[in-house]
Amino acid sequence: MANYSTNEFRPGLKVMLDGDPCSILENEFVKPGKGQAFSRVKLRNLKTARVMEKTFKSGESLEAADVMDTDMQYLYNDGDFWCFMEPDTFEQHQATENAVGDALQWLSEQDVCVVTLYNGSPLSVTPPNHVELEIVETDPGLRGDTAQGGSKPAKLITGAVVKVPLFLDQGDLIRVDTRTGEYQGRAAAK
Amino acid sequence: MTDWQPGISLDRLRQRGRILAELRGFFQSRNILEVDVPVLATTSVTDRNIESISAGVFADSGLCDVSAYLQTSPEYFMKRLLAAGSGDIFCLGKAFRKGEAGRRHNPEFTMLEWYRCGWDEHQLMAELGELIGTLLPGSAIQKISYADVFIQYLEIDPHRAELGCLQKLAVEAASSAWSDESRGNCLDLLFSLVIEPQLADGLVFVYDYPACQAALAKCYSDAQGREVGRRFEAFLNRVELANGYFELTDGQEQARRFAEDQQARIVASKPEMQVDQRLLAALESGLPECSGVALGVDRLLMQIEGATSLDQVMSFSWDRC
């Protein structure tokens, strides 16, 4: 793989650090007028999601990580693995529970997700920003109470639990922002 | 495409124009002569941590290709004027540094530099304080030695601490491999990452730099018998603003330091830089005892305007050029 020097560090660049693939979040150039130049770099470890800060001497380099973000369709779960497919090539990839991580609670079959491949196998899965899911369990709805005010927990078909307004009922379809886990509104029945 | 637009707002553009006029007014009212010196020359600095942007002046003419450099500061030309008997002078112009770009850096920037004959660095710090006071009235001013600032924030004497101890602290501050770094690099790193962010509000002068970072300043033995350079730096709200010296006037000592720089550049595989022989000749002929300081005008604007990046106070920063 190629090497990237500190002056090529940009947000989103994927590099290897201490044997793990990392994504660069920020790179700040620091230099005393007469002194050595540094790069203060914030990185996220793509395996552990941990964010760390490191300082490099200007001109130091890191190896590029063989990491690629690819849009893939979620097909099914066979009990051990979650299966995703590249829509163009129909190539299928098996993701472990660890790689699917928190995305698990939002995934419906056929959803198009961003699957991050590291050395060709799924490292992490990012669900669509918005999903539409059915409520399977919640306290009975209070009809007419559509004004602002209270909320109640509702369990969705994928297992996620979100806060919803009181008037919603079991069987209702809602729209959720997966980045915040927040209820966005009712969705039209499919 | 929207980056045809300036990074600076029109209000700030007007403010910038006023500040430039105020800076000139400050020096004119003190009878200091404005000089404009070349930004393009056949030699440049040998500093181990400053790179010059080169230019091919006669490259297309069929004559021999004389390589030239955009100047990293007006210092050498101003010293030649001083040696020629100019008396007190100031220069408000452009300076260039290769590879420096970021929130607080731009490869081309505006520099204010001035020299006071017969003054030492403490008198010059006082004048810089007055200048900042006229632009940012009520700014607090603090003076602390390089040794004391390290003792205060890191509990070590930067002049006497073992190299191993500096390296260990540098590794902790950088959270990466710094174990084989030089004394100067470790001190720079610790200053930038640990000390600078903790400095007080307002103007803070740090003086008596380690001898290995004396650059073009005279050296002397301080009260504790430590060899230090009579160099100072000024920080405004934790941003490095200015660098000054009680100037080295000894041509032979200057030649020795240049040779040391060249050696360090070879070791670090950096481009070789020829020594400016005209500057050395000027020192040989006699530079008057003087102090000089260079100040980053764009950074000053940043502080006056409360801006978070140079792009907000420059007409067109590098990303727009």
**Rounded-to-10 torsion of CA B1, B2, B5, B10:** 160
> How many residue contacts between A and B have a Cβ separation below 8 Å?
67
Of B122, B124, B126, which is closest to residue B114 (Cα–Cα)?
B124
CB contact under 8 A, A34 and B49: yes
* Closest residue in chain B to residue A30, using alpha carbons only: B192
Contact B206, B228 (CB under 8 A): no
Q: Is A130 on the interface with B (CB under 8 A)?
A: no
CB contact under 8 A, A35 and B213: yes
Q: Among B45, B175, B176, which would you mutate to test the A interface (most chain A Cβ atoms within 10 Å of its Cβ)?
A: B176
Cα B101 to chain centroid distance, Å, stands at 16
Tell me which residues of chain B have a pLDDT lower than 70.
59-66, 178-179
pLDDT at A114: 94
Residues of B in contact with A52 (CB under 8 A): 175
Q: What is the rounded distance in angstroms from the CA atom of residue B172 to the CA atom of residue B222?
A: 30
Q: Is B179 on the interface with A (CB under 8 A)?
A: no
Q: Is B219 on the interface with A (CB under 8 A)?
A: no
Q: What is the rounded distance in angstroms from the CA atom of residue A122 to the CA atom of residue A94?
A: 7
pLDDT at A54: 94
CB contact under 8 A, A29 and B49: no
| Nearest CA distance, A83 vs chain B (angstrom) | 38
Q: What is the rounded distance in angstroms from the CA atom of residue A148 to the CA atom of residue A161?
A: 20
Residue in A33, A37, A55 closest to B174 by CB: A55
| Nearest CA distance, A4 vs chain B (angstrom) | 15
* Backbone phi, psi, residue B14, to 5°: -65, -40
According to DSSP, residue B292 is labeled: E
Q: What is the rounded distance in angstroms from the CA atom of residue B70 to the CA atom of residue B295?
A: 18
Report residue B67 as tokens.
Answer: 């390589």
* Closest residue in chain A to residue B214, using alpha carbons only: A34
Tell me which residues of chain A have a pLDDT lower than 70.
142-149, 189-190
Please give the model's pTM, rounded to 2 decimal places: 0.83
Contact A39, A28 (CB under 8 A): yes
ipTM of the complex: 0.86
pLDDT digits (tens, 9 = 90+) for B54-98: 988 876 655 555 689 999 999 999 999 999 999 999 999 999 999
| Nearest CA distance, A62 vs chain B (angstrom) | 12
* Closest residue in chain A to residue B295, using alpha carbons only: A33
E-strand stretches of B47-181: 53-56, 67-70, 89-96, 108-117, 141-145
CB contact under 8 A, B175 and A28: no
Q: What is the rounded distance in angstroms from the CA atom of residue A42 to the CA atom of residue A26?
A: 5
Residue in B49, B176, B193 closest to A56 by CB: B176
- The interface residues of chain A toward chain B in range 43-102, judged by CB-CB distance below 8 A, are 52-58
Q: Is B50 on the interface with A (CB under 8 A)?
A: yes
| Nearest CA distance, B59 vs chain A (angstrom) | 28
Domains annotated for chain B, with CATH where assigned, are 10-37+71-140+200-320 (3.30.930.10)
pLDDT digits (tens, 9 = 90+) for B270-302: 999 999 999 999 999 999 999 999 999 999 999
